[in-house]
Amino acid sequence: MEKPQDPLDSLLDRWGDTTLEPSEHLEAETWRRIAHAATTAEPERRAGWLACIEVAFARPSFTVAFVAACVLLGLFLAEARVSHLQEARSRQVVQHYLRLIDPLVEDAPGVKVVAEVAKP
């Protein structure tokens, strides 16, 4: 039994016989498009980000939230700075006090501090 002729077979046969010659401008065109895509993609992306930021700040609620976040960050950093200074001060106070009560602490100001106490 003979198989029915598939129209695709003749097309495939013809494609196998012919060799496609690439256009002489193909390579140049390809590089031109790559260069174009490279130069336009970055500014477009940047413009996209800027547009996003502008859209966000156009909403008053976002602006208020942003300012509040800045204030909170400022307060947090200030508190961190203050507690760091408090720790340093506590150490300094203890050293100062030890110099006051212990004549063996090796530091000349010890004598000075004790003398301060002795003042009327």
Partner 1 sequence: MKRTILALSLGLVCGLGAHQGWFVTHRPRPVDDLESQWEWMREDLRLDETQVARIRALHEQSSPQLLALARRVAQMRREFAAFEKARRSSGEVDFLEFARYVDQQRALDRECVDSTRRLVAATVDVMRPEQRRQYLASLGPEFEAVAASVPKT
Residues in touch with partner 1 (CB under 8 A)? 53-54, 57-58, 63, 66-67, 69-75, 77-79, 81-82, 85-86, 89-90, 92-94, 96-98, 100-104, 108, 110-111, 113-118
Handedness of CA 65, 68, 74, 80 (dihedral sign): negative
Smallest distance, partner 1 to C-beta of residue 88, A: 8
Task: List, in order, residues 6 or more apart from 110 with CB less than 8 Å away.
Answer: 99, 100, 102, 103
Nearer to partner 1, 38 or 108 (CB): 108
Nearer to partner 1, 37 or 117 (CB): 117
What gap in Å lies between CA 31 and CA 39, rounded to an integer?
Answer: 12
